[in-house]
């Protein structure tokens, strides 16, 4: 490790835009890649591996546009391989395209497994060493800082340790600025990773100015984070991964889960001061750009990371945070959630109600009434732990603080198959009552719920123009008791958005359309309540 590097400073190297883009279902446009780059820079990531300009026109286009970015923290890297077998580095087209990206730093991967050299690359062991040396020499002569990815290093160490270490030593002799040890197949255990790092360090540190060592782990054994930590404890100064863990096959080291552990548990410095608090928001933004679902149970940043359902857990948390939370949620920009269910105690319900600023504490008799009502509904199949908006409406209704914005007097939904050439397959008609005025509306839709949603909002739009911004963004149906077969009750969860925020509501019925209507009504009412405030009386709804 270089003397000028603080031993507590860990370089974070993000490869979301290169290795992450190789994950199934992940596809970035050049514009997407620019947006991800800006998000990672905002978080304070030190290095961003942005793609291989020699592999496709999209990456080449990205690097051209990226020159206009004004990055504050991150440095972009272009990625490529050592020169082709039998081709001089100066004549290698891929290396020329790599240089065209005009990044100060380039990352080159080279074979360190003897098996891969002879059976995959079909080259001699000596020629592969020449390819490593000549590629690094050429890129350095063109003014580039070169990072060397020692591909399949840990597997190569098992197969032919002498050659794997000789390959790494060759890159050091060529003055590579970083040596990255790669568990390319993702099959190594943390103990093997730590041992491999120590062996590589034994070779590298014999040089006068040994470059820092990095770790690049894949998650094929579910151990990428554990392997990365083992490597850092063994002396690595850089860790590579993707922010959300996605990547080829089972993915890469998940940086969003690793960085907080390094900073908060190991006292290592990964991001600029104060930036860890942006981790959750930036991670969710990157997930949106990648059009992927951020797992609710993801450590640190998931919705479930600091959720508490059991009553005694909630009670303990309110007395002493560390009783059931390993860190303060705000340190990573997340928040605590109390899940409302029949398992929750009065302390959890009271704390959740307190968030609505209705002026009652845990000793208020309404808390007991609300808890009884909550358990009654859950016995019927309702579940509020994933439907905070419906729970909030329930609280206001039980406390007599809810303003009824509208009533659904009647509705009818019809489906036909196959759909006609000029008509969508479903039709809905609704009759609503708003402030003493009746309104009827009809709409077509791609399905019964879509048609009902359109008709309902069309009927209300004259009274509440703000509903024009509201959209249904997700819809889930769950059979509550499968043994009742097609007569079983169903639970419908609907996620809605107004463009600025989103919320989830729930409905339960033996009729899937009626359950959908209940969830839709709550969704619309919640949106209107947030816009108008919380006035004073409640009224029933037909749904």
- Residue-range domains of the chain with CATH: 11-290 (3.20.20.70), 307-379 (no CATH), 407-532 (3.30.160.270)
Q: What angle do CA 259, 262, 263 make, to 5 degrees?
A: 85
Structure tokens at 16: 């979301």
**Do 317 and 351 touch, CB atoms closer than 8 A?**
no
- Residue pLDDT, tens place only, 242-265: 999 999 999 999 999 999 999 999
DSSP assignment of 246-308, as one string? --STT-B-BHHHHHHIIIIIS--B-SSTTGGGGHHHHHHHHHHHHT-PPPTT-TTTSTTTTEE
Q: Is the pLDDT of residue 164 over 60?
A: yes
The predicted structure's pLDDT at residue 362: 66
Place of tokens 């096959």: 249
Q: Which of 158-172, 192-206, 213-227, 280-294 has the lowest mean pLDDT?
A: 280-294
C-alpha count within 13 angstroms, C-beta hemisphere, residue 392: 23
Instruction: Please choose, from the candidates 528, 539, 504, 305, the residue with its C-alpha nearest in 3D space to the C-alpha of residue 400.
Output: 539
The predicted structure's pLDDT at residue 538: 35
Q: Looking at residues 481-486, what average pLDDT do you find?
A: 60
Average pLDDT, rounded, for the chain: 87
The predicted structure's pLDDT at residue 139: 98
What are 491's strand-pairing partners? 478, 508
The predicted structure's pLDDT at residue 202: 97
Place of tokens 């790494």: 168
- Residue pLDDT, tens place only, 289-334: 898 878 888 999 987 777 766 555 555 665 666 666 788 888 999 8
**Do 207 and 225 touch, CB atoms closer than 8 A?**
no
Q: Which of 143-147, 183-187, 399-403, 410-414 has the lowest mean pLDDT?
A: 399-403
The predicted structure's pLDDT at residue 1: 37
Task: Give percent of the chain with pLDDT exceeding 70.
Answer: 86
The predicted structure's pLDDT at residue 312: 57
- Residue pLDDT, tens place only, 106-157: 999 999 999 999 999 999 999 999 999 999 999 999 999 999 999 999 999 9
The predicted structure's pLDDT at residue 519: 94
- 338-358 burial, b at 16+ Cβ within 10 Å, e below that, comes to bbbbbbbbbbbbbbbbeeeee
For 240-259, the three-class secondary structure string (H helix, E strand, C coil) is EEECCCCCCCCCECEHHHHH
- Residue pLDDT, tens place only, 423-465: 567 899 999 999 999 999 999 988 899 999 999 999 999 999 9
C-alpha count within 13 angstroms, C-beta hemisphere, residue 172: 25
DSSP assignment of 505-518, as one string? EEEEESSHHHHHHH
């Amino acid at each position: 490790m270089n003397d000028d590097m603080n031993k507590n400073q860990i370089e974070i190297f993000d490869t979301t835009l290169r290795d992450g883009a190789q994950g199934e279902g992940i596809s970035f446009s050049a514009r997407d890649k620019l947006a991800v780059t800006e998000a990672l820079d905002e978080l304070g990531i030190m290095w961003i591996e942005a793609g291989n300009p020699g592999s496709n026109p999209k990456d080449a286009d990205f690097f051209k546009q990226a020159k206009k970015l004004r990055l504050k923290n991150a440095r972009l890297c272009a990625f490529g391989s050592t020169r082709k077998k039998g081709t001089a580095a100066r004549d290698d087209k891929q290396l020329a395209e790599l240089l065209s990206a005009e990044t100060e730093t380039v990352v080159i991967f080279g074979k360190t497994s003897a098996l891969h050299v002879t059976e995959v690359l079909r080259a001699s062991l000596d020629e592969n060493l020449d390819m490593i040396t000549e590629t690094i020499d050429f890129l350095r002569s063109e003014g580039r800082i070169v990072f060397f990815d020692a591909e399949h290093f840990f597997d190569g160490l098992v197969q032919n340790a002498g050659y794997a270490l000789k390959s790494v030593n060759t890159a050091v002799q060529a003055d590579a600025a970083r040596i990255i040890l790669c568990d390319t197949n993702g099959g190594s255990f943390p103990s093997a990773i730590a041992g491999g790092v120590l062996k590589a360090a034994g070779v590298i540190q014999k040089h006068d100015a040994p470059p820092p060592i990095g770790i690049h782990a894949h998650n094929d054994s579910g151990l990428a984070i554990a392997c990365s930590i083992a490597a850092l404890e063994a002396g690595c100064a850089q860790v590579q991964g993707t922010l959300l863990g996605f990547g080829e096959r089972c993915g890469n080291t998940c940086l969003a889960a690793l960085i907080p552990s390094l900073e908060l548990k190991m006292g290592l410095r990964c991001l600029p001061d104060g930036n860890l608090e942006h981790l959750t928001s930036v991670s969710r933004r990157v997930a949106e750009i990648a059009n992927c679902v951020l797992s609710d149970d993801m450590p640190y940043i998931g919705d479930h990371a600091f959720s508490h359902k059991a009553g005694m857990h909630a009670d303990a948390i309110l007395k002493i945070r560390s009783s059931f939370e390993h860190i303060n949620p705000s340190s990573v920009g997340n928040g605590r959630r109390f899940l409302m269910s029949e398992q929750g105690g009065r302390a959890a319900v009271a704390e959740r109600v307190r968030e609505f600023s209705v002026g009652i504490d845990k000793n208020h008799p309404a808390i007991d009434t609300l808890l009884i009502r909550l358990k009654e509904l859950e016995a019927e199949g309702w579940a509020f732990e994933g439907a905070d908006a419906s729970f909030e409406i329930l609280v206001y209704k039980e406390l007599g603080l809810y303003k009824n914005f509208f009533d659904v007097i009647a509705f009818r939904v019809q489906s036909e198959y196959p759909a006609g050439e000029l008509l969508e397959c479903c039709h809905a008609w609704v009759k609503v009552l708003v402030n003493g005025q009746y309104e009827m509306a009809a709409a077509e839709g791609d399905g019964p719920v879509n048609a009902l949603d359109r008709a309902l909002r069309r009927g209300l739009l004259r009274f509440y123009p703000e509903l024009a911004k509201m959209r249904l963004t997700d819809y889930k149906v769950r059979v509550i008791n499968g043994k009742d077969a097609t007569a079983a009750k169903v639970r419908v969860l609907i996620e809605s958005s107004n463009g600025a925020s989103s919320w989830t509501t729930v409905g339960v019925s033996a009729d899937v359309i009626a359950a959908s209507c209940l969830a839709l009504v709550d969704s619309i009412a919640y949106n209107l309540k947030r816009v108008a405030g919380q006035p004073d009386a409640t009224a029933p709804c037909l749904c």
